Amino acid sequence: MGKPICALITGASSGIGEAFARVMAAEGINLVLMARRADRLEALRRELEPAHRVKVAVVPCDIRTAESRAGAWEQAQKAATTSGLEIDCLINNAGLGESTWFVKQDWSRKAEMIDVNVSALTHFASLALPPMAAANRGWICNVSSTAGFMPGPKMAVYYATKAYVTSLSEALSYEVRHSGVKISALCPGPVKTEFAPAAKMDSSRLFQVIKPMTSEQVARIGYLAMLRGQPVVVDSWLLAGATFMNRFLPRAMILKTTAFLNGAGGRRK
């Protein structure tokens, strides 16, 4: 089973993205790290390069606009080329979420989630996949969520974006099935990261009922699944079983269960 030579990781300054950087650097994979917080990227670069003897480049970027994404991709390619490398792996990790009622959520916040979770992810996949297909070699891991398997009252837009990510990943995996390119959707459940409190999710019943995994555990699972070319991977047997059972349960039951876990079971306040 081969492995990448140089991976671009979006949302690499914290959480699952940072964990992917650590896991892959430990495997001897060179990195291009992308996120908004340049100071964190630099700190991670200074840590990983000497520890694992890999080349690490940083590309600070706000990926919410197409122009900034195109510019960041060019910077990432240039950084890799300067080191005599080519990006042969994409970890599409950057994401946003928020726990609130749809009618109370500003359009700007909805648009921001769609821009990052859908548009940016699709854009980077569109930029990365053609050269991988031409080389008949490459890996893409799109970080989705178990949220993508069901509707999510009080997090309606976030759940919908993750359904898109999982669907896109499965379709692309099928399209490239006869090539040397492998595409996976990583679908974690609750994870101990900065994402949960930022999205106002950490106090929800979901985090009380299901024990959160660490970002390092999730990244390791995602990395190995990506190497295998597993189209969709859920990070625990419990959640994998639950998502499988969703196929046989009434939609109304799934909706009520998710609403309860998200704290949307009662009347909207």
d(CA 196, CA 73): 28
Helices and strands in the chain: count of H runs, count of E runs: 11, 9
164 belongs to the catalytic site:
no
Task: For residue 136, give the DSSP letter.
Answer: T
Side-chain-side CA neighbours of residue 34 (13 Å): 30
Strand-pair partners of 233? 186
Report which of 264, 184, 260 is spatially closest to residue 224, judged by C-alpha positions. 184
Collapsed DSSP state (helix, strand, coil) of residue 60: strand
- Pick the closest to residue 116 from 172, 56, 65, 152 (CA basis): 65
Catalytic residue (one of 158, 164, 174, 223): 158
Query: In angstroms, what CA-CA distances link 58 with 35, 38, 72, 87?
Result: 8, 8, 10, 13
CA 166-170-171 angle, to 5 degrees, is 115
Residues acting as catalytic residues = 158
